[in-house]
Chains A and B, each alone.
Chain A
């Protein structure tokens, strides 16, 4: 940490990493505030990681505890993998936000509150008997009570706006203050305001004034003695943009269609937290993308099969409850061996569960959730940015092997954001496959490529290949309906061998840290950041550990079993009660240890470190 004097009595402290949490009413614009800070930090050159945490209710009663919406972001001068275990600064817009978030703020942390919101009514809604700003209960923190509403209203004086409209801009006052405190430019946000509200000059002016007023308040008040600077991170060279996982999923499949030289079809039904993907893809009409908002989840899957039958790169997207409804039709895709992708942005279940919260408890559903022997490749992106490359990879597998593929994202990776190095067009792979045309002799729709075991993809409109497919068992080769038991056994075995064979065509499992030793931590999906950070700490502490993050959950990479056997202990942290753990044990006969948490939030780094240390000390 270095300090340099700036103004008299004020200094700049250089920090490697800062974690901020904005918390307020779900109508207070906390998601927008957090997103704007993230963009600004990312454009400056920091590494960033975010955790939006919002309630299922669109607008719970104002000031109430269930209505609190939060956005945590971490920005750093070095490579980071998580949005931080705990905030350094908590911005609380009202008593309810303070009440629900203060537990996460470590002693000595900075707490910035809108003191205007601490009215008797709001205090009572948050179940505060006394005003915490006055009763000394916050003395463990550095508290900065600021009358945000009053100051903001004064800055907007003279604009033709209702007092309610004025109040809606106070989040930008706080954003301006944070920009000042962390020496970040207001320019990106001012530009954004102009773009967003350009056609409504009064609203644009109000937001600009609110932002600037917050910034100036920091500069002129004597409340703050320090500002902070987080230097640029040393990222790999390239052009970067900030991206959420759902956005990366959408443009990943857009790119996949380009790489496959096919038109993209996306059939979907709105469901949290997957809806973004539909909304993003609906904006790419100029690419010929055809999005279809179906009447239900089943229709979304059925239309996907229909589009795949017609030769499109076809996909559907949903969350776990939607996958449950699509299940029968997914079986039809397995039986007819048509290429398509099912995106599952997982949320906490079962049933409706916690619709906006993260969980990884749909792995069993992905692997086993269909009737009959119904093998389906399953892949899972580990970070928001990786959603892009994994979308292309899922498409490659689907097209090359003529199979539906499950793409398991989750609320954390889907809504989280990070800087993403934009790939050059030359880095994009060619994943195109031909459609079959008439050749010599009888057409055999269920003949197989000797290497991949894929069947030919004959699309309607191809003369001479008129044939019939469907959900009934097919005669090997000819593809006519067949009820013979021996043929069924052969077909079931072939479908399984085809999917198993993909193991030869995916990257080997890599390990970070020690290649063999005391402990291997095995994870999948969005827990990547927490596990990688935990492994870094354990390695720094001299432990003999490694981290294997499994992106291919079915089939597993061919070397995974060998990797697992090189360690004394295997720890499998998951946001479920041990689903990958169960499959690893069953597949490789290893005595792995499960560490499952289902609290609707990502792992903290410290949780995994503690569990690893317990095992390293001989615990079971």
Chain B
């Protein structure tokens, strides 16, 4: 048994949020969304019942990269974009550990884009939390792969001419087996999402919409602000119709291949006409549609878009080793050294 959650369930231990807090001084800018991500992460950790010595946080470079220093677990602050590669080696060597990859939009999608894709498609059993603030913060304000088209930054004074990436679409295309989105200021929702991702066996990807109040203040304000977030965000619940709005009167239906915002009660529309969320659907079509929906054309979906069961990389690697041993016995070095034809000189 190498699954972290199964191990924890077999021997549950009681920890509290405080067990995951250490005395390292937190050095993010005051007001940064990263504080909330850290706080929710620390809050959720005891829920898994995993001893803290069996938990490893691995990060890349960027403001998000500092998070492992503040977790009272094992931690590795690696190099730009490469955190998934360290997590991959660690999970292959030590499948029983619970591994979290902390990354940002530049770290995961730009310099580390290749590792993002491949670690997801291998279904390595770790959870990647991507802090998405649509800007390069640590280098003080350059365009990122998720920056808006036309965005003026220090490196794009006349506006960015790069099209932004849709991270969730990419994660689904890369065969991640859990794909979710949450928001830094939406603390309870974030806790629930992190818990779902941590419990999932396989490659989990969570995009956290995060504000950078210094270099990109109001990054997601248009739909995350308290006053209108109910009308502009769509909270996904498995098995429930896609309903949103302060008055719970708006919904999403499918016309042909296209989603459409409708109002319940208008033009004869009832709840029965709406798309029903099915995060466990084997095929990715619904999740792909949701991953493309964005403000202002659509409310922004948050929650788990997709969650499917697949054998993990470590399980399959272990199975091959077991099969090899079953076939030819445990490796015998003496025999390996003497393989092929040998002859003796007296």
Contact = CB atoms under 8 A, between A and B. Distances in A.
Interface of A: 39, 42-45, 188, 235-242, 251, 254-255, 258, 263, 265, 267, 284-290, 292, 294-296, 298-312, 314, 328-329, 331-332, 336, 422-423, 425, 459-472, 480-481
B82 A460 contact: no
Given A254-B336, A308-B89, A314-B89, 13 more contacts: A43-B341, A286-B325, A286-B329, A301-B85, A302-B86, A306-B76, A310-B94, A311-B93, A312-B93, A332-B78, A422-B337, A422-B342, A466-B74
Contact of B343 (A240, A331, A468): A240
Given A287-B333, A469-B76, A295 B118 contact: yes
A461 to B, nearest CB: 6
B186 interface: no
Contacts of B24: 468, 480
Given A329-B82, A468-B68, A306 B52 contact: no
5 contacts: A238-B345, A302-B78, A306-B58, A306-B91, A309-B86
Interface stretch (B140-148, B203-211, B316-324): B316-324
A94 to B, nearest CB: 31
B328 interface: yes
A463 B53 contact: yes
Contact of B88 (A303, A423, A461): A303
Interface string B328-346: 1111011011111111111
B331 A239 contact: no
Interface in B70-96: 72-79, 82, 84-94, 96
Given A241-B341, A254-B333, A465-B53, A471 B115 contact: no
A369 to B, nearest CB: 16
Contacts, number: 205
Contacts of A481: 69
Contacts of B114: 295-296, 299
A470 B321 contact: no
B344 A302 contact: no
Nearest to B346: A237
B54 interface: yes
Interface of B: 24, 51-56, 58-59, 68-69, 72-79, 82, 84-94, 96-97, 114-115, 117-118, 317, 320-321, 323-325, 327-331, 333-334, 336-346
Contacts of A43: 341, 343
A465 B325 CA distance: 34
A460 B89 contact: no
A306 B97 contact: no
Contacts of B331: 284, 286-289
A104 to B, nearest CB: 30
Contacts of B72: 466
Given A292-B92, A307-B92, A310-B90, A471 B333 contact: no
Given A235-B345, A285-B320, A328-B79, A309 B115 contact: no
Contact of B93 (A42, A254, A263): A263
Those 7 A-B pairs whose CB atoms lie nearest each other, nearest first: A302-B85, A306-B89, A470-B77, A287-B331, A303-B89, A306-B86, A468-B75
B90 A423 contact: no
Given A39-B341, A235-B345, A307-B93, A294 B85 contact: yes
A306 B93 contact: yes
A265 to B, nearest CB: 5
A423 B59 CA distance: 43
Contact of A287 (B74, B118, B336): B336
B77 A472 contact: yes
Nearest to B323: A285
A302 B115 CA distance: 10
A461 B97 contact: yes
Contact of B345 (A240, A258, A425, A480): A240
B115 A241 contact: no
A242 B340 contact: yes
A307 B333 contact: no
A471 B79 contact: yes
Contacts of B97: 310, 460-461
Contacts of B93: 263, 265, 290, 306-307, 310-312, 314
A240 B85 contact: no
A471 B53 contact: no
A307 B76 CA distance: 12
B345 A237 contact: yes
B264 to A, nearest CB: 46
B333 A425 contact: yes
Contacts of A329: 79, 82, 85
Residue among B53, B55, B339 facing the most chain A CB atoms (10 A cut-off): B53
A589 B340 CA distance: 48
A285 B317 CA distance: 9
Residue among B55, B56, B327, B330 facing the most chain A CB atoms (10 A cut-off): B56
A467 B84 CA distance: 19
Contacts of B115: 295, 298-299, 302
Nearest to B342: A241
A241 B334 CA distance: 13
A258 B333 CA distance: 8
Residue among A42, A240, A296, A310 facing the most chain B CB atoms (10 A cut-off): A310
A413 to B, nearest CB: 19
A27 B345 CA distance: 36
Contacts of B325: 285-286
Contacts of A309: 76, 86, 89-90
Nearest to A463: B53
A394 B336 CA distance: 20
B237 to A, nearest CB: 35
Given A284-B331, A284-B336, A299 B82 contact: yes
B110 to A, nearest CB: 14
B68 to A, nearest CB: 6
A240 B328 CA distance: 24
Given A265-B89, A311-B93, A460-B53, A469 B340 contact: no
A480 B77 CA distance: 11
Residue among B84, B330, B336, B337 facing the most chain A CB atoms (10 A cut-off): B337
A314 B52 CA distance: 24
Contacts of A238: 344-345
